[in-house]
Amino acid sequence: MFPSEAGARPRACEASASERRKWVEVFKACDEDNKGYLSREDFKIAIVMLFGYKPSKIEADSLMSSVNPNTSGISLEGFLHVVQRKKEAQLYRNEIRHIFTAFDVHYRGFLTLEDFKRAFSRVAPKLPARTVLEVFSAEVLSIITERSMAVHRQTWCWRRS
């Protein structure tokens, strides 16, 4: 349920035949010269077509090198693998969002420790209060760390220019 917990991963789900056909069509449409692979720019366009956003340079580097770091492009099979993983991650984020919304009974956009305790008392009444507190503390620390790192990066980028 919480991504920072050890072992929490998006669940693997098989793509339907129609989804897979769509992904192959996007690959072919973006492989304009029929070279059999997508260049970095082709890949970015394909991601825009499928997910509605342009991946950053860092994300594109990461995704392309995760398939085969020794090539200048991504093959159809590598592309299908990347798209499948991105789809699973997207489904996982949506699931987390739904769970959070169910716990946020006051529609504040955040959960207090009391909200967290109340939610866990409903879904896992035998879970020790100490465990709930530890999970809440770990999640809060994770959020604070992520936000402070983002602020630090913004400050560093602003000072650099």
Q: Which amino acid is located at 128 in the chain?
A: P
What pLDDT does 118 receive?
83
3-state secondary structure at position 107: coil
User: Domain segments of the chain: what residues?
Assistant: 17-90, 108-160
Task: Return d(Cα 84, Cα 75) in angstroms, integer.
Answer: 14
Q: Which of 75, 6, 86, 66 lies closest to 42 in space, CA to CA?
A: 75
What pLDDT does 23 receive?
94
Beta carbons of 73 and 32 less than 8 angstroms apart: no
Residues of the chain with pLDDT under 70: 1-13, 67-71, 139-161
Which pair of structure tokens corresponds to residue 28?
């072919």
Which pair of structure tokens corresponds to residue 114?
């009391």
> φ and ψ at 37, to 5 degrees?
-150, 165
| pTM for the model | 0.54
Task: Return d(Cα 41, Cα 117) in angstroms, integer.
Answer: 47
What pLDDT does 151 receive?
44
CATH assignment of 17-90, given 1.10.238.10, 1.10.1380.10, 3.20.20.80, 3.40.50.300? 1.10.238.10
What pLDDT does 10 receive?
44
What pLDDT does 153 receive?
42
Tens digit of each residue's pLDDT (9 = 90 or more) over 110-149: 777 788 788 888 878 888 888 878 877 776 655 545 444 4
